[in-house]
Structure 1
Amino acid sequence: MSGNYVDRAKNVIANLKVGPRGEIKLKTSQIRKILSEVNKINNRIEVFSATGRIKDNTLPDEILSDIQALKVKIIYQCGKDQKNKEKNVIKFVNEADLIGELDRIGKSRKAFERFYSYIEALVAYHRYEGGE
């Protein structure tokens, strides 16, 4: 992820505003599901790091599998959202380029940390902008 992830998150959430009052239709529970999964991966990275299983900024295969599982969960959430007329989750995932960002992590711990910070910023701006 290049550039300022905070400004990018702010713009993503701003682009999700709809209606005459500029409300955000994406529900907090929908975005927090993603944050929860990212938190689990981050916690696991911390444990792996504390036990010396992460070296040279390179994520081990177990963590890479967790990242792939997160990608599948996000895709599943988008699939469930296909039935909604407004497709709020799909709009969010596309606007934030979450799948692309996950792919760009590769094996880099630093790239995952930037992704983690980006997700936190998205959740923060969602809340700040009145997401329910």
Structure 2
Amino acid sequence: MTSAIPLRQPCPPGACDCGREALLEDPRGDLRILRLTRQEEQRLLERLACIRDLDDLEHMQRRMFEQLGLRLTIAPGFNEVRSMRGIEIRIEHLPGLCRKTRQAIPAAIRRGLERTPEIAWRLLDSFDLLRDA
């Protein structure tokens, strides 16, 4: 007997613009993001808040793309970076991704960067921003 893969429960009507219903109706739609249940989302956010180093963060980016189809870019912002707010964390639009999750993932990454600022320094250095420091 096979069990169905649990899908995320729908958001209350009018509370989200995720497009979950349209994604479910599309036969060619990528349903991977709907496998991110609320419990799995909490585990992901905890994991992102506890990143150890830049390699770990890049590994999480790859895994989120492979497992959920979620493309995440992290780069220094347009203006100078004086705090973690200056680092731009962008999630590419993905049908089925809840509005709250789109906000929670960058917040969790920022918490991880604030907890271990060496990651932010290595990130900035990878963009060659600290070469003269």
Higher strand residue share: 2
Higher relative contact order (CA closer than 8 Å, sequence separation 6+): 1
TM-score normalised over the length of structure 1: 0.31
**TM value normalised by structure 2:** 0.31
Higher helix share: 1
Whichever of the two has the greater Rg, that structure is: 2
